[in-house]
């Protein structure tokens, strides 16, 4: 093939890499968000911001959002770091199992979790009297720890187990206790991983919705719940848009910080495995206990409730899932099937877009890579209300009028899945030794060819992990889905769950629990696939 | 050549004018706020899209009957809860998502009317509806069903020796200290309804709430965590909750193990009437189909299907109620009602005051 | 040994099902240097780490001055540790690395600084206190690691193949300097290596390990001249294994002399390879019945030449005592 044609092919290939993800995010995320902001702020101009700044309630809300996120992050680190240290020492197969287990809570729908926690507080008597946890900030914090435990354990744990531990051993032999060795030697080296995990946990806590709404009770409001309140209950789109801007700015800052921290992570080296001796049994059991109670408590309650029928225990609620409950337009099993189909579609889209975007982030020119890195992670922290409403307003003309089409739901799910794919693939691709590319080049491969032959097989594992997350997240997605118009036959499992929880009657309650457990099992299966696909471990997730 | 060009331009102008005329001509017939006589139009083969909230369900046979009768198919679009649905309808009114909107209730009604969401239509079946449910004399919306938000209490869980509460004021009685749980009107529709009930049903609603607070009332964000979290039904220890008049029959129907008697009772004095309306969305391109659907929603076929599916009461006087409703549900004869215009005008102030008194 | 400073009895280290160290008994006197020699996987590193406290002992006990220390965590044992790749703390300077152990012991800054200076001088790196660790060469880093390990004054220095990553020249230098430094500080040492030259150079005694067991200990000369078993002989580098009339024997590399063809009782072999070693030659030969032999000869025969070798019976190693 002549030179010009080959260069032409390369240019086209490069263009495809950039264009596909750019168009996807611009059309389905950028355009809707911009429309909401424009519609909301265009009328009032800057005045809305002044009103916001003056309103003490809004200031309080911003402040509360901030400090509960900080507190959640701190608490998650305190609880999660010891667990990470223990997990890092486990033999590989057990490590994978534990990592899979702690990841299940991460992808559970918040509706489910908030309900489970309410249950736990009631069962343990923590909702009355002096030890009242109901509707307190503590309830919110604990639930945030529940969700984000996995982030710390996975990120920091993986990084930790990959470190060369002879330095710690040297420190121990020089007279440092285990704690002193950790403090003096390990902690400085762990800093990048801890910072990365903290940024993610902060992001999720900052934008948390269901947990704050249900567990925080009517007294607590964060930016996210306030956006919902203004947009839905008061139809005050201007205020909602102004709040959305504030939130977006904060999230943008967070994402910038987090991606920058990601880049500083050193490539993991080989070395001695962690000493098996280091953890004292008491330490190990206490931490395992905490993890078990924290994560297993709410889940255990759900499982117990799903089997408890009026006269003892049985599978009745599960069997009832195949019949249509009066509150649902279709049987719960149909909803589950729908969710799976949506999840598969959404995952396929997220994988395609995310893969191309990752390649741009890793191999593209610096400016472009940066924009892509940020732009494709933003949907993770954007209010579901804003996305849902934005899509409605923006996508109202052909050929983009997908508002009532089946496709809008997997697209919305894919929007949330793409950041996961990108954040998993980018570190994996970055860790590929450039010497490999050089060797391939010398052997006659063009850069694109080298990428295909080297990056793709290596990146494939990262891709499977990202896809697994996208799948799990789609299964449990509730926020955006509930804001988008949907035909009844396209009912998803989380929405069905919410419906079942909204009517009195033990039967429906039991069915809701059963549906929740089935959903959880599906999610867990996805997570196990993720884990078995990982070899050793880079990446935030 | 100048002549050819001039002719081309003339042709273009004529074409444009012609198209404009055609377009303008079409506008007339799509109706803009006028009353239309419902002349029987053949709508067979068309689709009528009904936009509603997530709590909507009627049996398949009902819409099949509609199709059998008219030849048109009904397509459903469900969006979130009533508030979300109204917000989204208002947001998309320039390019409406559906032909008919169902589920806007009296607390949101004025908002929809102010936003010019609907085209008026007076169904011929309107005469069979309870007259007090027809809130819009311009017939921009049609009442379809109603439900009452009332105080429910778990009969066997009431404090020792206490008689069931009979009036709103009873809830401030010390015998019911720490027994009541309500929802916040900021985030909950029944919560808002109960607030409105107290505004209408007490002499000094602000004092009333202060008394409730002094009596240990608990507030949740949503119905679920009140009913299933703090109320006896979910294992909680409060025996009095804001719920629906249809909750007692629901408890019977969905009891596990089955029960003979409803475990809960209703405080009729506290009931606030929530009426759900349907309306034809302005800008719809299937006006005839929309009208036919609204007519159909006021027939016994539809109306009698509603109670067991959505746990609300039919608006049609002649509709028969299922036996569980007859036995276990009570309809307040004199419910609390506030005019939609008043609600819309004062809601924000009322809610803010409430927040200050109760959560402040 | 009378009153050994360090005693290991019946030590056993397990990794799951695998027994990496089996029933090892070991004695070390104060100031003595013991080299543990063995091929990869023989358990020598595991034994060392168990002594250091970095691996748990599945069975057995360790005594220092008669006191059991097996229950103590690594930081409470009076041992120092040196690795193959120094494991210096990258975020600290040379001086901060060396003083680390002193800090852990709670020594005040002034005496710390003095001691750091002392040790750096001892290892030939005087004035290096402020240098960043990442700027050091391999040899310099190993010396800093040595200084760091010795600073807290351990009774025994445990070395895990510390010279393996160094180039030949540096290795030889450190082989010379290490014993001096250890003597200067009066530290005993257990030195693990797979290289028998290193073991012979650095150990007052050599312990041969294979398959998790300590087969033989003794001064290098003794062990080399009289290995107790074929296994030990192999580990020590003997390669001339011969079937004799009374069983298997080993011919030492210095057991052969080239003689004239007409002498009796000779072994005939063809020269396959000759390695010039400066002082002598390392010659590989093959006998007429296909056996491969290796001897050290002063004079180099020609490649391919057929020679007659006389084997000195005093330099034949026999087993089975």
Q: What is the pLDDT, as a whole number, of residue A456? A: 75
Cβ distance A176 to C104 less than 8 Å, yes or no, reads yes
pLDDT grade for A275, boundaries at 50, 70 and 90: low
pLDDT grade for A270, boundaries at 50, 70 and 90: very low
Q: Which residue of A has its CA nearest to B264?
A: A504
**Max Cα separation, chain B?**
104
Q: How many CB atoms lie within 10 A of CB B114?
A: 13
**Percent over 90 (pLDDT), chain A:** 13
Q: Is the CA virtual torsion A356, A357, A362, A366 positive or negative?
A: positive
pLDDT grade for C301, boundaries at 50, 70 and 90: confident
**B334 DSSP 8-state letter:** S
Alpha-carbon distance A409 to A394, whole Å? Answer: 15
**B184 DSSP 8-state letter:** -
DSSP B59-90: -HHHHHHHHHHHSPEEEEEE-SSHHHHHHHHH
CB-closest option in B186, B224, B254 to A507: B254
The highest-confidence range among A303-307, B89-93, B100-104, by mean pLDDT, is B100-104
Q: What is the pLDDT, as a whole number, of residue B292? A: 93
List of chain C residues whose C-beta atoms are within 8 Å of the C-beta of residue A178: 73, 75
Residue B144 contacts residue B296 (beta carbons within 8 Å): no
**Mutant choice from C13, C50, C53, C54 vs A, greatest count of A C-beta within 10 A:** C54
The reply to whether C226 touches chain A by the CB within 8 Å rule is no
Residue A331, φ and ψ in degrees, nearest 5: -60, 155
Tens of pLDDT, residue by residue over A180-230, are: 988 888 888 888 788 878 888 898 899 888 888 778 877 788 998 888 888
List of chain A residues whose C-beta atoms are within 8 Å of the C-beta of residue B285: none
Q: Are strands C281-287 and C213-218 parallel, antiparallel or unpaired?
A: unpaired
Q: A498: part of which helix (H) or strand (E)?
A: helix A493-500
Q: Is the pLDDT of residue A296 over 60?
A: yes
- Of the candidates A315, A279, A332, the one whose C-alpha atom is nearest the C-alpha of residue A501 is A332
pLDDT grade for B31, boundaries at 50, 70 and 90: very low
Q: What is the pLDDT, as a whole number, of residue A418? A: 92
Q: How many CB atoms lie within 10 A of CB A315?
A: 11
Tens of pLDDT, residue by residue over B177-205, are: 999 999 999 888 899 999 999 999 999 99
Angle of the A237-263 helix axis to the A47-54 helix axis, nearest 10:
80
Q: Distances from the Cα of A386 to the Cαs of A230, A406, A480, A484, A487, in angstroms? A: 11, 20, 9, 11, 21
Q: Which tops the pLDDT comparison, A452 or B61?
A: B61
**Percent over 70 (pLDDT), chain B:** 89
Q: How many CB atoms lie within 10 A of CB A234?
A: 17
pLDDT grade for C320, boundaries at 50, 70 and 90: low
Interface list for A 299-328 with C (CB within 8 A): none
CB-closest option in A166, A174, A188 to C148: A174
Which chains have 3+ CB pairs within 8 A of C?
A: A
Contacts for C283 with CB less than 8 Å, ≥ 6 apart:
C271, C273, C274, C275, C294, C295, C296, C297, C300, C301
Contacts for A504 with CB less than 8 Å, ≥ 6 apart:
B227, B233, B243, B247, B250, B251, B254
Beta bridge partners of C207: C36, C217
Gap between the terminal Cα atoms of chain C: 22
CB under 8 A, 24+ apart: contacts of A13-19: A13/A448, A14/A448, A16/A356, A17/A356, A17/A359, A17/A360, A17/A364, A18/A356, A18/A360, A18/A364, A18/A368, A18/A372
Beta bridge partners of B152: B241, B266
Q: Which value, to the nearest 10 degrees, does the dihedral of the CA atoms of residues B173, B174, B178, B182 take?
A: 10
pLDDT grade for A111, boundaries at 50, 70 and 90: confident
Ranges of H-type helices in A207-276: 210-216, 223-228, 237-263
Lowest mean pLDDT among B24-28, B233-237, C46-50: B24-28
Interface list for B 165-194 with A (CB within 8 A): 183-184, 186-187
List of chain A residues whose C-beta atoms are within 8 Å of the C-beta of residue C145: 170
Residue B152, φ and ψ in degrees, nearest 5: -105, 150
Cβ distance C54 to A174 less than 8 Å, yes or no, reads no
Contacts for B204 with CB less than 8 Å, ≥ 6 apart:
none
What's the mean pLDDT in C133-138? 87
Q: Is the CA virtual torsion B297, B300, B305, B308 positive or negative?
A: positive
Q: What is the pLDDT, as a whole number, of residue A279? A: 57
Tens of pLDDT, residue by residue over A445-464, are: 777 777 777 777 777 777 88
| Strand, coil or helix: A270 | coil
Residue C318, φ and ψ in degrees, nearest 5: -115, 150
The per-residue b/e assignment along A91-104, b for 16 or more CB within 10 angstroms, e otherwise, is: eeeebbebbbbbbb
Q: Distances from the Cα of C149 to the Cαs of B52, B312, C136, C155, C288, in angstroms? A: 76, 81, 17, 11, 54
Q: Is the pLDDT of residue A160 over 90?
A: no
Q: Distances from the Cα of A109 to the Cαs of A71, A106, A469, in angstroms? A: 22, 9, 13
Alpha-carbon distance A280 to A284, whole Å? Answer: 6
**Percent over 90 (pLDDT), chain C:** 41
Q: Distances from the Cα of A357 to the Cαs of A345, A360, A370, A457, B225, in angstroms? A: 18, 5, 11, 17, 42
Cβ distance B254 to A310 less than 8 Å, yes or no, reads no
Mean of all residue pLDDT scores within chain B: 85
Residue A361 contacts residue A457 (beta carbons within 8 Å): no
Shortest alpha-carbon distance between residue B107 and chain A (Å): 11
Q: Is the peptide bond before B257 cis (omega within 30 degrees of 0)?
A: yes
Tens of pLDDT, residue by residue over C29-41, are: 999 999 999 998 8
Q: Which residue of A has its CA nearest to B307?
A: A326
Tokens of A46: 């800057």
List of chain A residues whose C-beta atoms are within 8 Å of the C-beta of residue B186: 218, 229, 233
Q: What is the pLDDT, as a whole number, of residue B279? A: 95
Lowest mean pLDDT among A4-13, B47-56, B259-268, B275-284: A4-13
Contacts for B311 with CB less than 8 Å, ≥ 6 apart:
A503, B147, B244, B246, B247, B249, B250
The reply to whether B309 touches chain A by the CB within 8 Å rule is yes
CB-closest option in B92, B253, B256 to A309: B256
| Strand, coil or helix: B20 | helix
Residue A325 contacts residue A500 (beta carbons within 8 Å): yes
Lowest mean pLDDT among B3-12, B144-153, C223-232, C255-264: B3-12
pLDDT grade for A538, boundaries at 50, 70 and 90: very low
Q: Is the pLDDT of residue A261 over 90?
A: no
Q: Is the pLDDT of residue C99 over 60?
A: yes
The highest-confidence range among A145-159, B64-78, B244-258, by mean pLDDT, is B64-78
Interface list for A 172-201 with C (CB within 8 A): 172-178, 180-181, 184-185, 188-189
Tens of pLDDT, residue by residue over C3-31, are: 789 999 999 999 888 889 999 999 999 99
Tokens of A148: 């984000």
Q: What is the pLDDT, as a whole number, of residue B30? A: 40
List of chain A residues whose C-beta atoms are within 8 Å of the C-beta of residue C112: none
The reply to whether B360 touches chain A by the CB within 8 Å rule is no
Alpha-carbon distance A427 to A413, whole Å? Answer: 23
List of chain A residues whose C-beta atoms are within 8 Å of the C-beta of residue C53: 172-173, 277
Q: Are strands C188-193 and C33-37 parallel, antiparallel or unpaired?
A: parallel
Q: Is the pLDDT of residue A428 over 90?
A: no
Q: Is the pLDDT of residue B19 over 50?
A: no
Q: What is the pLDDT, as a whole number, of residue A352? A: 92
The reply to whether C38 touches chain A by the CB within 8 Å rule is no
Q: How many CB atoms lie within 10 A of CB C277?
A: 10
**Mutant choice from A94, A175, A269, A280 vs C, greatest count of C C-beta within 10 A:** A175
Q: Is the pLDDT of residue B24 over 50?
A: no
pLDDT grade for A263, boundaries at 50, 70 and 90: low
Q: Is the pLDDT of residue C194 over 50?
A: yes
What's the mean pLDDT in A278-284? 70
Alpha-carbon distance A225 to A231, whole Å? Answer: 10
Which single residue is written with the structure tokens 């992808």? A107
Gap between the terminal Cα atoms of chain B: 82
Q: What is the pLDDT, as a whole number, of residue B27? A: 40
Q: Which value, to the nearest 10 degrees, does the dihedral of the CA atoms of residues A79, A81, A87, A88 take?
A: 180
Q: Which residue of A has its CA nearest to B241?
A: A504
Q: What is the pLDDT, as a whole number, of residue C231? A: 87
B116: left (phi over 0), alpha (psi -120 to 50) or beta: left
The reply to whether A171 touches chain C by the CB within 8 Å rule is yes
Mean of all residue pLDDT scores within chain A: 81
SS (H, E, C) A272-326: CCCCCCCCCHHHHHHHHHHHHHHHHHHHHHHHHHHHEECCEECCHHHHHCCCCCC
Q: What is the pLDDT, as a whole number, of residue A250? A: 86
């Amino acid at each position: 093939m002549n030179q010009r044609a080959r260069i032409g092919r390369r240019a086209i290939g490069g263009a495809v890499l950039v264009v596909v993800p750019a168009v996807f995010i611009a059309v389905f995320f950028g355009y809707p968000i911009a429309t909401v902001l424009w519609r909301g702020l265009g009328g009032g101009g800057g005045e809305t911001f002044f009103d916001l700044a003056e309103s003490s309630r809004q200031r309080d809300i911003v402040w509360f959002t901030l400090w509960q996120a900080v507190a959640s992050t701190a608490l998650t680190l305190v609880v999660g770091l010891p667990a990470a240290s223990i997990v890092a020492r486990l033999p590989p197969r057990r490590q994978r199992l534990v990592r899979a287990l702690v990841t299940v809570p991460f992808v559970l729908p918040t509706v489910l979790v908030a309900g489970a926690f309410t249950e736990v507080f009631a069962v343990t008597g923590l909702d009355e009297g002096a030890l009242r946890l109901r509707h307190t900030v503590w309830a919110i914090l604990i639930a945030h720890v529940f969700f984000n435990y996995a982030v710390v354990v996975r990120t920091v744990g993986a990084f930790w187990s990959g470190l060369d531990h002879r330095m710690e051993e040297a420190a121990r032999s020089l007279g440092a206790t285990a704690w002193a060795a950790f403090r003096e030697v390990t902690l400085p080296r762990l800093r990048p991983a801890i910072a990365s995990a903290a940024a993610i946990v902060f992001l999720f806590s900052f934008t948390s919705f269901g947990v704050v709404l249900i567990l925080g009770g009517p007294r607590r409001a964060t930016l996210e719940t306030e956006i919902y309140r203004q947009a839905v209950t008061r139809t005050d789109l201007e205020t909602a848009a102004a709040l959305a801007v504030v939130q977006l700015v904060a999230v943008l800052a967070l994402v910038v910080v987090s991606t920058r921290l990601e880049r500083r992570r050193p490539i993991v080296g080989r070395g001695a495995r962690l000493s098996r001796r280091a953890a004292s049994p008491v330490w190990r059991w206490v931490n395992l206990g905490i993890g078990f109670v924290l994560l297993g408590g709410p889940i255990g309650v759900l499982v117990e409730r799903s089997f408890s029928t009026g006269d003892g225990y049985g599978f009745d609620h599960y069997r009832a899932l195949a019949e249509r409950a009066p509150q649902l337009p279709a049987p719960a099993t149909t909803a589950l099937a729908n969710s799976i189909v949506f999840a598969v579609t959404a995952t396929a889209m997220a994988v395609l877009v995310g893969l191309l975007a990752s390649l741009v982030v890793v191999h593209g020119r610096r400016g472009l890579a940066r924009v892509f890195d940020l732009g494709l992670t933003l949907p993770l922290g954007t209010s579901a209300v804003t996305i849902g409403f934005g899509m409605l307003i923006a996508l109202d003309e052909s050929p983009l009028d997908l508002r009532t089409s089946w496709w809008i739901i997997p697209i919305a799910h894919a929007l949330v899945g793409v950041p996961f794919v990108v954040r998993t693939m980018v570190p994996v691709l970055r860790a590929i030794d450039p010497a490999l590319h050089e060797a391939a080049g010398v052997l006659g491969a063009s850069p694109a060819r080298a990428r295909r032959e080297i990056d793709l097989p290596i990146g494939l594992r990262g891709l499977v992990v990202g896809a697994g997350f996208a799948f799990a997240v789609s299964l449990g997605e509730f926020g955006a889905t509930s804001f988008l118009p949907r035909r009844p036959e396209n009912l998803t499992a989380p929405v069905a769950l919410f419906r079942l929880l909204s009517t009195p009657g033990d039967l429906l309650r039991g069915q809701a629990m059963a549906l929740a457990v089935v959903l959880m099992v599906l999610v867990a299966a996805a997570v196990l696939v993720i884990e078995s696909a990982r070899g050793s471990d880079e990446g935030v997730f | 050549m100048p002549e050819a060009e001039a002719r081309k331009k003339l042709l273009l102008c004529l074409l444009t004018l012609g198209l404009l005329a055609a377009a303008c001509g079409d506008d007339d017939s799509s109706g803009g706020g006028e009353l239309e006589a419902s002349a029987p139009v053949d709508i067979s083969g068309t689709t009528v899209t009904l936009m509603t909230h997530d709590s909507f369900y009627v049996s398949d046979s009902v819409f099949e009957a509609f199709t059998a009768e008219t030849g048109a198919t009904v397509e459903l679009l469900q969006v979130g809860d009533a508030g979300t649905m109204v917000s989204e309808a208002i947001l998309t009114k320039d390019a409406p998502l559906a032909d008919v909107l169902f589920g806007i209730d009296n607390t949101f009604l004025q908002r929809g009317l102010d936003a010019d969401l609907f085209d008026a239509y007076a169904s011929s079946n309107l005469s069979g509806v309870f007259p007090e449910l027809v809130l819009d004399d311009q017939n921009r919306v049609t009442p379809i069903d109603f439900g009452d938000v009332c105080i429910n209490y778990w009969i066997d869980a009431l404090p020792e020796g206490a008689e069931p509460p009979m009036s709103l004021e009873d809830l401030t009685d010390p015998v019911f200290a720490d027994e009541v749980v309500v929802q916040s009107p900021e985030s909950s529709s029944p919560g808002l309804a109960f607030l409105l009930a107290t505004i209408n049903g007490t002499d000094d609603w602000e004092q009333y709430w202060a008394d409730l607070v002094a009596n240990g009332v608990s507030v949740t964000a949503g119905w679920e965590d009140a009913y299933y979290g703090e109320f006896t039904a979910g294992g909680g220890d409060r025996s009095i909750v804001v719920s629906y008049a249809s909750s007692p029959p629901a408890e019977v129907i969905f009891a596990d193990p089955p029960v003979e008697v409803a475990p809960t009772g209703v405080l009729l004095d506290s009931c606030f009437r929530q009426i759900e309306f349907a309306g034809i969305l302005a800008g719809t391109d299937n006006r005839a189909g929309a009208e036919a659907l609204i007519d159909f929603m006021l027939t016994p076929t539809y109306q009698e299907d509603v109670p067991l599916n959505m746990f609300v009461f039919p608006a049609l006087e002649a509709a028969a109620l299922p036996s569980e409703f007859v036995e276990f549900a009570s309809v307040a004869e004199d419910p609390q009602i506030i005019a939609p215009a008043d609600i819309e005008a004062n809601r924000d102030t009322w809610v803010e005051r409430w927040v200050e008194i109760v959560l402040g | 040994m009378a009153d050994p400073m360090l005693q290991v009895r019946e030590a056993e280290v397990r990794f799951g099902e695998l027994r990496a160290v089996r029933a090892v008994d070991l004695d070390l006197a104060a100031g003595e240097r013991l080299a543990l020699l063995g091929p990869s996987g023989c358990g020598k590193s595991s034994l060392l780490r168990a002594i250091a406290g970095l691996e748990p002992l599945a069975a057995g006990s360790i005594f220092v001055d008669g006191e059991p220390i097996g229950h103590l965590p690594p930081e409470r044992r009076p041992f120092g540790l040196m690795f193959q790749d120094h494991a210096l703390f990258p975020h600290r300077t040379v001086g901060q690395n060396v003083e680390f152990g002193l800090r852990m012991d709670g020594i005040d800054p002034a005496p710390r600084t003095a001691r750091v200076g002392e040790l750096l001088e001892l290892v030939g790196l005087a004035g290096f206190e402020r240098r960043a660790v990442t700027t050091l060469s391999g040899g310099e880093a190993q010396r800093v690691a040595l200084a760091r390990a010795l600073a807290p004054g351990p009774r025994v220095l445990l070395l895990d193949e510390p010279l393996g990553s160094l180039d030949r020249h540096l290795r030889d230098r450190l082989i010379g300097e290490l014993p001096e430094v250890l003597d200067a500080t009066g530290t005993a040492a257990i030195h693990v290596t797979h290289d028998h030259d290193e073991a012979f150079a650095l150990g007052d005694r050599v312990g041969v390990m294979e398959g998790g067991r300590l087969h033989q200990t003794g001064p290098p000369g003794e062990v080399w001249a009289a290995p107790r078993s074929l296994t030990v002989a192999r580990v020590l580098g003997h390669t001339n294994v011969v079937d004799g009339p009374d069983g298997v024997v080993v011919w030492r590399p210095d057991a052969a002399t080239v003689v004239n063809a007409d002498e009796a009782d000779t072994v005939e072999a063809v020269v396959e390879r000759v390695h010039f070693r400066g002082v002598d030659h390392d010659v590989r030969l093959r006998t007429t019945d296909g056996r491969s032999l290796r001897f050290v000869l002063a004079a180099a025969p020609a490649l391919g030449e057929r020679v007659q070798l006389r084997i000195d019976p005093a330099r034949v190693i026999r087993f089975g005592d």
